[in-house]
Amino acid sequence: MLSIDDIRTLKRANPLAEVAARCGLELCRTGSSYTGRCPFHHDQGRPNLSICCFTDASDDFFHCFRCGAGGDVIRFVRLLDNLSFPEAVARLQGTAPIQRANRPAPITRTTAPQWGLAERACLAAAVTLYHHSLLDDVQALGYLSERGLHRSTIERCRVGYVAGDELARYLAWRRLPLRAAFRVGLLKPGGRETFAGRIVVPELRSAQPIWLIGRVLGEPRAETPKYLGLPGRGRKPLLGWESAVGEACPIVVESVFDWLTLRSWGMGGLALLGTRVRPRVLNALSRFEHFYLALNSDVAGREAAQLLVDTFGQRALPVELPGVKDVSELAPLPDGRERFLRALNPWPVRAAA
Ligand SMILES: [Zn+2]
C-alpha cells in the first residue's frame, strides 16, 4: 500500500513530459509546458494536448482541450493502456515496461477468444479511441443518458462510440499494425470500421479488452442488425464475466444494456447476449452455486430461462421483472433499482464494487 508521499516520489521520478515522450508522443516546448497530439482521441489540426510541468514534477498535469482528458502522470498511463491504478503504478515503478502492455490477459477457458499481442494492442487502442470519442459526442452521450446510463458507468465499463472514420489513422499514429486490426475484425475490407455508428461495449479481463459488441445508436434501419459482435476468430464471450465471478449469486441478463444497467446499480452479473443457450454457456454458468435469471419477459426470454431452470434446477432463480420487458427499461426510472431489488426477494443480492 503506497502512502501519499510514496506516490509523490513516484511522480517526481517520472516527469509527465518524459513519460509521454517515451510512450511515443512528439512534444513541442513552450515555456514550462509542452503541447502535442492527444493520444486519447484522433487529434487533427492544431495539437490539443497540453502538459504543464513544474519544478516539483509531482505537480505535473496534462489536459486535452478537445476531449477533456486530463490528470497526473498515473492517470496518463492508465488512460493510455486502460490500466488499473496499481497496474499504472507498477508500470511507472519499472516493474512493468513503459511501452504498451501487451501482457496476456487471463483467459477464461470457456468464454474468451484468444488473440495475439498485436491484435490485443489494436483492440485496446480502439477501446481507448472509441471511449474518448463517446465522451466528446453529445448525441451519443444523450442517447445513453436517455437510457438511464450516466458518466460513471460509461467510464467504468469503458463504453465507446464509433464515429467511423478515425481508427485507421489513429492506429497508424500509435504505430500499431493495421493488419492486426483487420484480423481482429475492427476494420473491414476497404478500411471501413466494423462498428461505425454504434455504441460499443468491451468485454474486459484484467482491465484489458478481449472482445467488443456494438449497438446501433437509436433505432436501426430495417436491413441493419441492432447488435453486432466482433466478427472472425473471436468467439462471443459472456459479457461481464469479471463482475460476476466474485458474486455469491450473480444476475444473468440478456442484452448489453441490461448488463450496463446492473453495473450502474453496482450489481454484478452476466449478459448472455441473446437467448441461445450454448453448451459453453451452460459450462460457464455451472461454476456458480446459485444465479438469478433476469431474462426478457417475452417468449424467447422465458424459453431460455426455462431451459436453464431445467438444467440447473434450484440453483437457477428466475426473476419476475416488475412490469417491464427487460432490465434496461428500469434504468431510467427513479425507482428502477428498488423495484428490481424487490423482484429479487427473497434472495438478497450483495452489491458489487
Ligand atoms: Zn484529447
Does residue 251 sit in the same domain as residue 334?
A: yes
Q: For cell 489540426, name the residue.
A: 45
Tell which residue, 233, 227, 280, 270, has the closest CA to residue 249: 270
Which pLDDT value is given to residue 181? 94
User: Ligand 1 center to residue 254 CA distance, Å?
Assistant: 34
Give the residue from 180, 203, 229 where a domain finishes: 229
Does residue 160 sit in the same domain as residue 258?
A: no
pLDDT at residue 353 greater than cutoff 70:
no
CB 58 within 8 A of CB 12: yes
CATH for 282? 3.40.1360.10
pLDDT, tens digit (0-9, with 9 covering 90-100), for 174-203: 888 999 999 999 999 888 999 999 999 999
Does residue 196 sit in the same domain as residue 173?
A: yes
User: Ligand 1 center to residue 208 CA distance, Å?
Assistant: 21
Residue 305 lies in a domain: yes
Residue 101 lies in a domain: no
Residue 299 lies in a domain: yes
pLDDT, tens digit (0-9, with 9 covering 90-100), for 25-53: 888 887 778 889 898 888 877 888 989 88
Lowest mean per-residue pLDDT among 129-133, 146-150, 204-208, 242-246: 204-208
Across residues 253-262, what is the average pLDDT? 97
Band of residue 347 on the pLDDT scale cut at 50, 70, 90 = low
User: Ligand 1 center to residue 78 CA distance, Å?
Assistant: 14
pLDDT at residue 86 greater than cutoff 60:
yes
- Percent of the chain past pLDDT 90, that is, above it, reads 48
Structural domain boundaries, residue 28: 4-93
Residue 351 lies in a domain: no
CATH for 25? 3.90.580.10
Does residue 12 sit in the same domain as residue 70?
A: yes
Residues 6+ apart with CB under 8 A from 338: none
Residue 17 lies in a domain: yes
Which pLDDT value is given to residue 232? 57
Give the residue from 202, 229, 256 where a domain finishes: 229
Residue 144 lies in a domain: yes
Residues 6+ apart with CB under 8 A from 188: 182, 194
User: Ligand 1 center to residue 44 CA distance, Å?
Assistant: 10
Which pLDDT value is given to residue 151? 93
Does residue 84 sit in the same domain as residue 150?
A: no
Does residue 143 sit in the same domain as residue 169?
A: yes
Does residue 207 sit in the same domain as residue 140?
A: yes
Give the residue from 229, 252, 268 where a domain finishes: 229
User: Ligand 1 center to residue 60 CA distance, Å?
Assistant: 17
Residue 99 lies in a domain: no
User: Ligand 1 center to residue 25 CA distance, Å?
Assistant: 13
User: Ligand 1 center to residue 155 CA distance, Å?
Assistant: 15
Reduced to 3 states (helix: H, G, I; strand: E, B; else coil), residue 27 is strand
pTM of the model: 0.70
User: What value does the mean pLDDT of the chain take?
Assistant: 86
Which pLDDT value is given to residue 73? 94
User: Ligand 1 center to residue 74 CA distance, Å?
Assistant: 16
User: Ligand 1 center to residue 129 CA distance, Å?
Assistant: 9
Does residue 255 sit in the same domain as residue 166?
A: no
Which pLDDT value is given to residue 254? 96
CATH for 149? 3.90.980.10
Q: How many CB atoms lie within 10 A of CB 12?
A: 14
Count of domains observed in the chain: 3
Residue 327 lies in a domain: yes
Q: How many CB atoms lie within 10 A of CB 219?
A: 7
Does residue 37 sit in the same domain as residue 133?
A: no
What separation, in Å, do the N-terminal and C-terminal C-alpha atoms of the chain show? 19
User: Ligand 1 center to residue 237 CA distance, Å?
Assistant: 31
pLDDT at residue 100 greater than cutoff 50:
no
How far are the Cα atoms of 114, 140, 178, 201, 250 from residue 280, in angstroms, in the given order? Answer: 15, 34, 32, 21, 17
Does residue 137 sit in the same domain as residue 208?
A: yes
* Beta-bridge partner residues of 213: 201, 229
CB 158 within 8 A of CB 82: yes
User: Ligand 1 center to residue 65 CA distance, Å?
Assistant: 7
Does residue 167 sit in the same domain as residue 247?
A: no
User: Ligand 1 center to residue 272 CA distance, Å?
Assistant: 34
CB 125 within 8 A of CB 145: no
Does residue 256 sit in the same domain as residue 223?
A: no
pLDDT, tens digit (0-9, with 9 covering 90-100), for 207-240: 888 899 999 998 888 888 999 998 754 478 899 9
User: Ligand 1 center to residue 198 CA distance, Å?
Assistant: 20
Pairing mode, strands 251-253 and 291-293 = parallel
